Amino acid sequence: MITDVWKYRGKSSNYRHHITFTNEDGSIRMFLWKDNGGDGVHINNGSDGGGDFIFKTDGGFALGSGAQVASSGDIYGSVWGNNWLSTWLHNHVVRDIRLGSIEYKNVWRDYGFGDASGYVLTAAINGNADDLVDTVARRPIQKLIGGIWYNVGSV
């Protein structure tokens, strides 16, 4: 049964208006409402619970669970740590990779480099053109997460 639909038809008012759907026993199945100047059109699941679903005036959508879809398409919810998906991605996903600052080491009559986590050899230099490498160079592999560069680790 639908109630209150005809009550306000053709009337002007700045007050909240409800459209209510009820069960035969009179319990509220669902209602729809909008405040003048409010945040949007609300749909409520009535006695079944679940809170309001809101079609927001900025084009966004909010669910009774607290999750939201912004007009930009961004998604907010508990699965993202009660934050926006764009923020979660910025803080948790590798956004770029680079080689860090170069380090040189003599290998002829020196110890060279030991095995260091996250480094790669990037040069082997034979400065005097004999049969032996004189110097090697290495750089750390770095990843960008949340605006901070980190050296990668090794397995």
| pLDDT higher than 50, residue 6 | no
User: What is the chain's mean pLDDT, rounded?
Assistant: 86
Share above pLDDT 70 across residues of the chain, in percent, rounded to a whole number: 90
Sign of CA dihedral 95, 146, 92, 143: positive
- Shared domain check, 109 and 78: no
| pLDDT higher than 70, residue 153 | yes
Q: What is the pLDDT of residue 8?
A: 47
Distance of alpha carbon 144 from alpha carbon 112, whole angstroms:
29
- Shared domain check, 42 and 114: no
Mean pLDDT of 121-148: 93
Other residues' Cβ atoms within 10 Å of the Cβ of residue 93 = 11
Looking at 52, 67, 92, which one is the last position of a domain? 92
Number of domains in the chain: 2
Domain that holds residue 131: 96-151
- Shared domain check, 33 and 79: yes
pLDDT digits (tens, 9 = 90+) for 56-114: 988 989 988 889 999 999 999 999 999 999 999 999 999 999 999 999 999 878 887 88
Please tell me which residue, 39 or 73, carries the higher pLDDT value: 73
- Shared domain check, 119 and 66: no
Distance of alpha carbon 26 from alpha carbon 65, whole angstroms:
26
